[in-house]
Amino acid sequence: MLSSITSFHRLINSLLPFTTPGTPLYQDVIHTIVLCAFLYFLPYIAERRAGARAGQTAEDGNDQHADAQTLGEVLRQELAIEDELQPPDDEPAPPPIEALLENGIHEDHAPAFDAPQPAFQNQQHQPAPRANRENIGAKKARSITRRNQRRQYHGWIREQAEARRAQEAVGAEEREAALQAEKERRLEVEKKLDEKRMKERSLVKAEREVREQREAKRRVDCERFVKDRLKEEGCVEIVEVVEEVWQDEDSDSGGLWSKGKGKANAEEERSWEEKAIWVERLLRAIPGLLGKKNVVKENGTEAVVMTMLTTGGWIVKIDEDVMRDAYAAAAQMARDKVKAGYDGKVTMMELGHVLEDILMARAGG
């Protein structure tokens, strides 16, 4: 029994080339069933494919019939496009599109074109034979129509472009000359504007340099004048400093305090308050000018000196001699008060007046 099964298995393996002796038996059986089923249904498949091809052939015949019907429209469109190329009146006219359709569009030579024509006849000339038209379908006819339309459109575009170029060519030299003249005019205007801007910048720079030089000169003159007056008289008024510093600018306008004065330079036009503030700021910024400091007298002794800026607009220098005279004057004032029946006290305001009198006496005023 086992030997018969083995021999049957070998027989199946020999009949089935896609199997190997090592494959299981059930796999070989499945392969065999599939192969037999394919061989069984193969004739039916072939028959269905043949029927489908026959139906496609019938549809193609119908399409050709429809193409024959639409060819008339295509020919009409082509004839409409070629109206501009019609032959002269003395030449034979081509047959109408209806005659072509009646005689048949699939014939190579129509009888009307093959029949001989007499040389002279009183009747109308017979239509001349036209070139044989190829049997085309609806898709080809639409393609021809689109091609003709594109040809017409491109021709119209070319005509428009040529007309535009011709129109532009008229007066091109005049326009080019006008453009060149306008360009030169603009360059000239820009050149003048650049020169004007450079001139303005140079003027502004020169004015700024002049202002800086005047400002530096004022600082030097102010510091020198204040130090000299403090050394000589011990006090100086800000009004005098302003007049001394700005005397060059004010000489043309009739003095610092003259009414209705004018200024040659509008930037330098300042009021008295602005000038006084400028002097005060400069004096406060000079190192070692204001405040208490130790100085050496002419006899070689050291003394303490106090330089201050009062609210009344004075720069005063107070040393030991001034304070000694002020204390002596204050003591005398106290004794006079006692003699007059008062308590003999001297207030700070009274002491200030005493200092002011002493400083004014030293200044010669």
Q: What per-residue confidence (pLDDT) applies to 312?
A: 81
State which of 89-103, 105-119, 219-233, 247-261 shows the largest mean pLDDT.
Answer: 219-233
Q: Which residue has the higher pLDDT, 43 or 14?
A: 43
Q: Are 276 and 313 in contact (CB under 8 A)?
A: yes
Q: What is the pLDDT of residue 20?
A: 65
Return the SS3 of 304: strand
234 phi-psi bin (left φ>0, alpha ψ -120 to 50, beta other): left
Phi and psi angles of residue 76, each rounded to the nearest 5 degrees, phi first? -60, -45
Strands 302-309 and 291-296, how do they pair? antiparallel
Identify the pLDDT of residue 194. 94
pLDDT band at 12 (very low <50, low <70, confident <90, very high): low
Q: What is the pLDDT of residue 324?
A: 84
The pLDDT score that the predictor gives to residue 259 is 38
Average per-residue pLDDT for the chain:
74
List the strands of the sheet with 291-296, edge to edge: 235-237, 314-318, 302-309, 291-296
Q: Which pLDDT belongs to residue 198?
A: 94
DSSP assignment, residue 125? P
Q: Does position 225 have pLDDT exceeding 80, yes or no? A: yes
The stretches of the chain forming alpha helices (DSSP H) are: 2-15, 25-81, 97-103, 111-114, 138-169, 172-232, 238-245, 247-250, 272-285, 320-339, 348-363
Which residue, chain included where needed, has tokens 């330089």?
A: 307
Q: Which residue did the predictor score with more confidence, 352 or 187?
A: 187
Q: What is the pLDDT of residues 309-357, one digit of tens each?
A: 888 888 888 888 888 888 888 888 888 888 887 887 888 888 888 888 8
Over range 168-180, report the average pLDDT. Answer: 85
Mean pLDDT to the nearest integer, 281-288: 86
For residue 141, pLDDT over 50 is answered with yes
- The pLDDT value recorded for residue 176 is 87
Which of the four pLDDT bands, split at 50, 70 and 90, describes residue 190? very high
Are 125 and 92 in contact, with CB atoms under 8 Å apart?
yes
**Segment 198-208 mean pLDDT:** 94
Residues 61-117 have pLDDT tens digits of: 555 555 555 555 655 555 555 454 444 444 444 444 444 444 544 444 444 444 445
Give me the percent of the chain exceeding a pLDDT of 90.
Answer: 13
Q: What is the pLDDT of residue 3?
A: 76
List, in sequence order, every residue forming a beta bridge with 315; answer none if it has no partner: 236, 309
- 230 with 315: CB under 8 angstroms? yes
- Report, as an integer, the average pLDDT of 182-187: 94
